[in-house]
Chain A
């Protein structure tokens, strides 16, 4: 079956511009997660959704970052007024429900480059 998809696969933008990253989870998965992976770094948790609700936004690096999920499906991560330090690979994952024993399935990521 179809896995987690993300678009775009690559995004190059200029400093100060806004960007939107999209994630389409596996059908039937109620939990959706966003992570950031910087070059040479591990994975940094950003936010997760259970259904359309985001119980934990503590990982968002600043108020320039926001995310929403509608219809319990697609999610968008928006970065406003991008900075060069936002350059990273943004990974989305989904699971049957949040946490516990449920493994997460990851998309291929969106590579964001801020010039």
Chain B
């Protein structure tokens, strides 16, 4: 069965420090992996996706994610966190011709 795990409910980081939000997945075949962000009282926004090719994917707002096939991970990263990055982050995997399977989400809190 396809699944996504986000092992941390919350990540706390100080502004200016690097951040990592973890995601591991279990899929059959080649994975299509996504990160979405949800700001308070707003809908989900697409950040980035991995389809194939370069293992380091760059996305919106300075975020990037590293695909690691051997560790079945797709961690979200940013070199220098901003207070405005505080939000709920979802990792997701897309089976072919179906919906997105989401992780449970990780709340990122960036302190000033």
Interface residues of A (CB under 8 A from B): 4, 33, 35, 41-43, 45, 48, 50, 55-56, 59, 91, 93, 98-109
Residues in chain A near residue B42, CB distance under 8 A: 108
* CB-defined contacts of A35 to chain B, threshold 8 Å: 99
What 3 A-B pairs have minimum CB-CB distances, sorted nearest first? A42-B104, A106-B44, A106-B43
Neighbouring B residues of A102 by C-beta, 8 Å: 94
Partner of B45 from A50, A55, A99, A106 at Cβ < 8 Å: A106
A42-B104, A99-B94, A108-B42 known; 6 new pairs, CB 8 Å cut-off, are A42-B105, A43-B44, A59-B99, A93-B100, A100-B96, A101-B32
Question: How far, in angstroms, from A99 to B34 measured CA to CA in the complex?
Answer: 12
B44–A91 touching, CB < 8 Å: yes
Residues A101 and B49 in contact, CB atoms below 8 Å apart: yes
Contact A104 B32 (CB under 8 A): no
Interface: B87 (CB within 8 A): no
Q: Which residues of B contact A (CB under 8 A)?
A: 32, 34, 36, 42-46, 49, 51, 90, 94-105
Is A98 a contact partner of B97 (Cβ separation < 8 A)? yes
Closest residue to B94 on the A side, CB-wise? A99
The reply to whether A99 and B44 form a contact with Cβ atoms under 8 Å apart is no
Q: Is the CB of B46 within 8 A of A48?
A: no
Shortest CB-to-CB span from B32 to chain A, Å, is 5
Q: Do the beta carbons of B43 and A98 come within 8 Å of each other?
A: no
Interface contact B99-A33, CB-CB below 8 Å: yes
The answer on a CB contact under 8 Å between B51 and A101 is: yes
* Cβ contact of B90, chosen from A42, A59, A93, A105, cutoff 8 A: A42
Please, how many angstroms separate the alpha-carbon atoms of A56 and B34 in the complex?
A: 21
A56 to B101, CA, bound (A): 14
A99 to B97, CA, bound (A): 4
Provide the bound-state CA to CA distance between A41 and B107, in Å: 12
A100 touches B97 (CB 8 A): yes
